[in-house]
Amino acid sequence: GSTIGILGGGQLGRMLAMSAAQLGYRCHIFAPERESVAAEVSASFTCANWHDTEALTQFAQDCDVITYEFENVPVGPLAKLPQDMLAPAPRALEVAQDRAREKRFIQDAGGTPADFVAIDHDSELADAVERIGVPGILKTRRDGYDGKGQWSINERADAQGVRIPESGCVYEARMNFECEFSVILVRGRDGEVRFWDSTRNRHDDGILAHCELPAPAIVAAQVEQARDMARKVANALNYIGVLTLEFFATAGGPVFNEMAPRVHNSGHWTIEGAVTSQFENHIRAICGLPLGTTDSTSAKIMMDNLIGEGALDLARHLSRPGAHVHLYGKSEARAGRKMGHVTRVG
Ligand code: ATP
Ligand code: MG
Ligand code: MG
């Protein structure tokens, strides 16, 4: 087949569609928002609600394979589609959409998340804070991204009067970490797994700001253990495509933060900094093509996100020597919104 359906219309879909185009594929985008920066570079756009199963079924009829650029696609409607079209299988979404489930899944695979307690009702929070201690972070189980849906609990009093949303929360210990890194892998239809190098990831206010290679020595010391964990997760899910696991490098070893069943912001540097990018390898994997080499093309690589207002000064970004500038084409810059990124190699 030669037509790829992508569920979700953001910049990850845009970069997937651009890689797909390079390999001669056409992409169809399905997303609920009118504005879609992925649709702008794709063959067609179905703008419909996730629960509009008629629209979804119609969409699927025009595709040979369907993938996701958004991890919170509701899985219910996907059950109505031919399951062999979906890559990765929706089970990966199911696990990653719920922080409590995700952490238990990781524990079952032998990994270590931060100590946590799942909370369903307001009345359970004080107890959770007592058990885990402070400082901690209260996170919604569902729908959080870029640090949204998170509250710091620095002392017990901070937990008073906090309302737990319907879909629940997890309360987890705030980790003392030396740095953050992610493991990004691609798994092919034959089960082959390849990893990209792990950058050091820096966040500002819960939003990824910067990735850098080489990562500090502690990452090199912990990345093998983190990769083993990620490989186990991918195999357990019979995963197809690119999968990302985020880690804290702590004195006690790698602590799992969360996973994303998709290409990831911390892998954007692979477009220019690796022999094969995360986007191209995701397309290769879901289309059953041979996977490309994931080696970095330089030992020294930096990626900076362009966030919020003032991020769109194209001439300024282009004036930096060796800068590879990516703008996502979003019509409106808002505080905390990812507008583009810049990669420098070497
Ligand atoms: P993303 O955009 O990566 O999906 P998210 O909203 O799902 O973000 P997390 O990854 O859970 O949020 O947290 C965002 C950042 O907040 C982390 O990368 C880390 O810097 C910090 N953070 C989250 N949980 C913890 C923790 N338990 N201890 C210390 N720092 C944390
Ligand atoms: Mg997340
Ligand atoms: Mg995260």
Domain termination residue (choose one: 146, 173, 200)? 173
**Across 285-300, average pLDDT:** 98
Q: Tell whether 98 is covered by a domain.
A: no
In this predicted structure, the answer to whether residue 233 has a pLDDT above a threshold of 70 is: yes
Instruction: Provide the annotated binding site for ATP.
Output: 99, 139, 144-150, 180, 203, 257-258
For the chain, the residue count is 346
Domain count, the chain: 3
Q: Tell whether 91 is covered by a domain.
A: no
Q: How is residue 40 annotated by DSSP?
A: G
Tokens describing residue 141? 């189980």
Report whether residue 146 contacts ligand 1, using a CB cutoff of 6 Å.
yes
Q: How is residue 59 annotated by DSSP?
A: H
pLDDT of residue 305: 97
99 CA distance to ligand 3 centroid (A)? 11
Instruction: Read off the pLDDT band of 313 (50, 70, 90).
Output: confident
Residues 6 or more apart whose Cβ sits within 8 Å of residue 212: 199, 200, 202, 301, 302, 303
Q: Are residues 165 and 46 in the same domain?
A: no
Q: Tell whether 94 is covered by a domain.
A: no
Rg from Cα positions in the chain: 20
Q: What is the pLDDT of residues 138-170, one digit of tens each?
A: 999 999 998 899 999 999 999 998 999 999 999
Q: Are residues 223 and 315 in the same domain?
A: yes
Peptide bond just before 165 cis, omega within 30 deg: no
Range of the domain at 286: 179-345
Instruction: Read off the pLDDT band of 54 (50, 70, 90).
Output: very high
The rounded distance, in Å, linking the Cα atoms of 66 and 286 is 8
**Across 70-77, average pLDDT:** 97
Task: Residue 263: count other Cβ atoms within 10 Å of its Cβ.
Answer: 29
pLDDT of residue 312: 83
Q: Are residues 55 and 168 in the same domain?
A: no
In this predicted structure, the answer to whether residue 1 has a pLDDT above a threshold of 80 is: no
Residue 137 CA: nearest ligand 1 atom is 27
Phi, psi of 218 (to 5 degrees): -65, -30
Report whether residue 336 contacts ligand 1, using a CB cutoff of 6 Å.
no
Q: Are residues 164 and 186 in the same domain?
A: no
Q: Are residues 329 and 183 in the same domain?
A: yes
Closest of 104, 96, 45, 46 to residue 73, by C-alpha: 96
The rounded distance, in Å, linking the Cα atoms of 67 and 86 is 6
CA neighbours closer than 13 Å in the CB half-sphere of residue 224: 3
Top mutation candidate among 257, 262, 264, 341 for ligand 1, by most atoms within 8 Å of CB: 257
Q: Are residues 80 and 129 in the same domain?
A: no
pLDDT of residue 271: 98
Cα–Cα distances in angstroms (integers) from residue 121 to residues 6, 26, 97, 154, 167, in the given order: 36, 46, 19, 20, 10
Peptide bond just before 216 cis, omega within 30 deg: no
Across-strand partners of 323?
none
Q: Tell whether 100 is covered by a domain.
A: no
Alpha carbon 175 to its chain's center: 20
What integer best gives the mean pLDDT of the chain? 96
Q: What is the pLDDT of residues 81-120, one digit of tens each?
A: 999 999 999 999 999 999 999 999 999 999 999 999 999 9
Closest of 145, 141, 222 to residue 182, by C-alpha: 222
Phi, psi of 106 (to 5 degrees): -65, -40
Q: Tell whether 105 is covered by a domain.
A: no
pTM higher than 0.90 = yes
Q: What angle do CA 146, 77, 69 make, to 5 degrees?
A: 35
DSSP secondary structure string, 70-84?
A: -TT--HHHHTTS-GG
CATH number, domain of 277, equals 3.30.470.20
Q: Are residues 263 and 142 in the same domain?
A: no
The rounded distance, in Å, linking the Cα atoms of 183 and 193 is 12
Report whether residue 206 contacts ligand 1, using a CB cutoff of 6 Å.
yes
Residue type, 322: G
Q: What is the pLDDT of residues 180-195, one digit of tens each?
A: 999 999 999 999 999 9
Nearest CA to ligand 1 atom 27: 174
Instruction: Please give the share of the chain, as a percent, with pLDDT higher than 70.
Output: 100
